[in-house]
Structure 1
Amino acid sequence: MSVTSVPSSAGTASETLLRQDPEMAGILLAEAERQATDLQLIAAENFTSPAVLAALASPLANKYAEGYPGARHHGGCEVADLAERVATDRAKALFGAEHANVQPHSGSAAVLAAYAALLRPGDKVLAMGLREGGHLTHGSPANFSGRWFDFTGYGVHPDTGLIDYDRLRALALAHRPRAIVCGSTSYPRHPDYALFREIADEVDAHLIVDAAHPIGLVAGGAAPNPVPYADVVCATTHKVLRGPRGGMILCGSRLADRMDRAVFPFVQGGALMHTVAAKAVAFGEAATPAFTAYAHQVVANARALAAALAEEGLAVATGGTDTHLVTADAGPLGLDATAARGRLAGAGIVLDICGLGRGPARGLRLGTAAVTSQGMGEAEMVRVAALMGAALRGTEPAGRLREEVAHLTAAFPPYPARN
């Protein structure tokens, strides 16, 4: 693989690594090749811009900066302070928030900080059940959330796959939780944030919105904004937002100090300043008309993919999608989720498995953020669905399908070579 397959901004660094550590350089180039030749349909992944990658590889990677701008525990943070202030100002403007904390290392760290600021061990929390699409931080017994707090799960209606708001209200009134968490890893529709706020107010609960998946669509005006309704919004900065892997917190000024203290020093130490700078770059990109067009195309592609998958015989959850997410059951084709994912992987189509909201059944979870970043549109989504259908039915050899996938991705490279 040639170095031109790597973003041009990383070219010099890649060449240096190739000379100094060819073993690791080979591994990284192999990953670049995998990303460029497989169909990347994992809903939580995307391709960052060369500018974001350049910030990640910047000298700020060398800087220790515990604390916040103007109140660091290390010297020499004047430039780091500038970078973080730019990131927080851009985040506040982008989402209409009074306060932003851009230091969380991940979405999970952001959620942990929100819990730490608002809850005490043993408090009751209402969140989407894990089988219905709730995240590990929404009460999994293997996670800190399930060990420290008393979670009750709400879910979706078995007939529609949509959040059962009547049941949600009944559970809130019965359990009187200290907090209600709105958010999911696989729910393809927009939550009713106003109704969540109404229910939270009825039981005097904090409303925490885990917007890790939709926050990029919010930035592009392709999804409703939870900030006006939530006490705290936790999110990731990758996924549809197309920034570096990391997290952030948005809230009102009333909770600003509590949230900041929960992030540092309670949850984590020094901020990753190169990542903070890369977040600032991503927020700046997300404020452009080009990103708005991108976000709407992500949704258009997801809807086209959902419709085409239904034509291929898969059972699409909720009958479609409002977001970048599509969840589908391969059962009508005689395959469980694990077998289906294996067949698709053999054809170079990479995706995830998720709960379907009804008992132990599991299905396929797809996302259109990455393929849209590559420049694909609705016509390509129909082609992707046809390739998936052929792989799942076994009507074409996996090798031939992989060749077709490689031909498609070659026409839409994630990082086109520049002269």
Structure 2
Amino acid sequence: MNYDTVRSVDPAVADALEAEVDRQGDTLAMIASENHVSEAVLEAQSSVLTNKYAEGYPGSRYYGGCEHADTVEQLAIDRAKELWGAEYVNVQPHSGSQANMAVYTAMLEPGDKILSLDLTHGGHLSHGHPKNFAGQVYEVENYEVDEESGRIDFDEVRAHAEEFDPDMIVSGFSAYPREVQWEEFQAIADDVDAYHLSDIAHITGLVAAGVHESPVGVADFVTGSTHKTIRAGRGGIVMADEEYGDAIDSAIIPGTQGGPLMHNIAGKAVGFQEALQPHFEEYAEQTLKNAQALADHLQDHGFSLVSGGTDNHLVLVDLRDSHPNVTGKEAEEALEDVGIVLNANTVPGETRSPFVASGIRAGTPALTTRGFDEDACETVGHCIAEVIDNPDDEDVKAEVAEIVTGLCEEFPLYDDDTEGLVFE
């Protein structure tokens, strides 16, 4: 993969792009929200649709010349409906956060109340953190996971909801390694007369493949990211019953966005088409198997995992018991030195700054896309353990770096000989 045309205009940017291709190929992407898309998705996202304004929706645009943009967006909508079984879909949000913003804008008034999972317990900024728009526009309180079990305590959520009387309850997470019981959240929301927004940003692909329970048809609103485990064009999505469609459409344009990014929507359409193929369910199942293999190896090595394991694509390691003198940030930096890229993460009962943190979060979606199986993920777990056990030992890090290099060569990414990732 090269950028010769870019180089003829802007060598500095071409250098950075080609270096990033090398970085991704030569390292293991284990940030749980990252994945690798196919060359078909990359090609769609770099298409001439980047030139086209298409404010409005298919068949009802503010500008002319949108017939082909209409085709692409309608394909993305129809494929999303088939993937997730939704009555209504909007594929225009630029991100999962903007998808959440659209639902809030459509259904709430400034000052209304939101009950959501605390950020340090696995929630997301857009669920109402004080530094985020949601925390500034709405009154937000948080429920937490049980610090001992690492799981959501629905009795605590119900008690909090009855006391706080929210207008909207948000379920979903950015760092919760267990399956979510959407019906429990919906029952609580119904009992306190609140809307229920389910944010499946991390697990859109797992839900589409049927390896995680779906909130579609259960929650009032479902939002998500369209990259992560679904491997489509980068952006967001909103799903709901048809009765809410007009309100959400208006909340996105003119409410929170202008022109949609039609090239990104093309990438979504292509990625959704790939996810409709039989191989995608195999991919999702393997992602879970790989996460379980990674979790088992780390536990066998003495690491404490939040909730004691994983049901999904991510593992959340609490370093405080096994490595009390190693912070999450120190572990992240030591692992990046050897080519393993993951992130420091807060854990329930966190006592350190979120910029330092006491845990690390590791995901398997990108590794699985490259072809990793359980054995390969156990090897990765061994590498992670060796580095965290010996974060300042350069000999150990050199040995691990060599193993990582071998894995990258065994499972190439965008390899010129194979014409890159093509999902068949």
Q: What range is the shorter-chain TM-score in?
A: over 0.9
Look up the equivalent residue of 2:331 and give its one-letter code: A
CA distance in 2: counterparts of 1:217 and 1:414, whole angstroms: 22
Check whether the contact 2:331–2:344 (CA below 8 A) recurs between aligned residues. no
CA distance in 2: counterparts of 1:413 and 1:107, whole angstroms: 29
Q: Secondary structure at the match of 1:131?
A: helix
Partner residue of 2:355? none
1:124 matched to 2:131? The reply is no
Greater shift, 260-269 or 338-347, is seen at 338-347
**1:230-379 equivalent positions in 2, closer than 5 A:** 230-331=219-320, 332-333=322-323, 334-360=325-351, 362-379=358-375
CA distance in 2: counterparts of 1:221 and 1:413, whole angstroms: 28
Task: Output the aligned Cα RMSD.
Answer: 1.2
CA distance in 2: counterparts of 1:22 and 1:290, whole angstroms: 39
CA distance in 1: counterparts of 2:329 and 2:74, whole angstroms: 45
Shift of 1:15: 2.4
Partner residue of 1:409? 408
Check whether the contact 1:330–1:340 (CA below 8 A) recurs between aligned residues. no
Shift of 1:86: 0.6
CA distance in 2: counterparts of 1:343 and 1:84, whole angstroms: 43
1:397 matched to 2:393? The reply is no
Shift of 1:132: 0.6
Shift of 1:312: 2.1
CA distance in 2: counterparts of 1:405 and 1:115, whole angstroms: 43
- In structure 2, stretches of 5+ residues that fail to align are 353-357, 420-424
Look up the equivalent residue of 1:51 and give its one-letter code: A
Partner residue of 2:379? 383
CA distance in 2: counterparts of 1:390 and 1:338, whole angstroms: 16
Shift of 1:353: 1.9
Check whether the contact 2:41–2:270 (CA below 8 A) recurs between aligned residues. yes
Shift of 1:381: 0.7
Which of 181, 199, 206 is 1:210 aligned to? 199
Look up the equivalent residue of 2:403 and give its one-letter code: E
CA distance in 2: counterparts of 1:302 and 1:405, whole angstroms: 18
- The CA deviation string for residues 342-373 of structure 1, in whole angstroms up to 9 with x for no partner, is 21111111101222112435310111000000
CA distance in 1: counterparts of 2:232 and 2:413, whole angstroms: 15
Q: Secondary structure at the match of 1:86?
A: helix
1:74 matched to 2:73? The reply is no
Check whether the contact 1:328–1:364 (CA below 8 A) recurs between aligned residues. yes
Shift of 1:397: 3.4
Look up the equivalent residue of 1:404 and give its one-letter code: I
- In structure 1, stretches of 5+ residues that fail to align are 1-5
Which of 128, 137, 157 is 2:126 aligned to? 137
Shift of 1:156: 0.7
Check whether the contact 1:373–1:414 (CA below 8 A) recurs between aligned residues. no
Shift of 1:214: 1.0
- The CA deviation string for residues 102-142 of structure 1, in whole angstroms up to 9 with x for no partner, is 00000110000010011111111100011111111111111
Q: So what's the TM-score if we normalise by structure 2?
A: 0.94
CA distance in 2: counterparts of 1:129 and 1:16, whole angstroms: 46
Check whether the contact 1:52–1:244 (CA below 8 A) recurs between aligned residues. yes
1:184 matched to 2:173? The reply is yes
Look up the equivalent residue of 1:366 and give its one-letter code: A
Q: How many residues align?
A: 408
CA distance in 1: counterparts of 2:327 and 2:48, whole angstroms: 48
CA distance in 2: counterparts of 1:310 and 1:372, whole angstroms: 21
Shift of 1:288: 1.1
Q: Secondary structure at the match of 2:115?
A: strand
CA distance in 2: counterparts of 1:344 and 1:40, whole angstroms: 11
Look up the equivalent residue of 2:24 and give its one-letter code: Q
Shift of 1:313: 2.1
Partner residue of 2:160? 171
Q: Secondary structure at the match of 2:263?
A: helix
Q: Secondary structure at the match of 2:315?
A: strand
**1:18-29 equivalent positions in 2, closer than 5 A:** 18-29=7-18
CA distance in 1: counterparts of 2:78 and 2:116, whole angstroms: 30
Check whether the contact 1:306–1:326 (CA below 8 A) recurs between aligned residues. yes
Shift of 1:403: 2.3
1:219 matched to 2:219? The reply is no
Check whether the contact 1:132–1:156 (CA below 8 A) recurs between aligned residues. yes
Q: So what's the TM-score if we normalise by structure 1?
A: 0.95
CA distance in 2: counterparts of 1:290 and 1:416, whole angstroms: 20
Look up the equivalent residue of 2:103 and give its one-letter code: A
Q: Secondary structure at the match of 2:119?
A: coil
Check whether the contact 2:54–2:262 (CA below 8 A) recurs between aligned residues. yes
Q: Secondary structure at the match of 2:92?
A: coil
- The CA deviation string for residues 65-115 of structure 1, in whole angstroms up to 9 with x for no partner, is 111111111110011011111110110111000010000000110000010
- The CA deviation string for residues 8-34 of structure 1, in whole angstroms up to 9 with x for no partner, is xxx5xx222233322211110101111
Shift of 1:330: 2.4
Check whether the contact 2:110–2:137 (CA below 8 A) recurs between aligned residues. yes
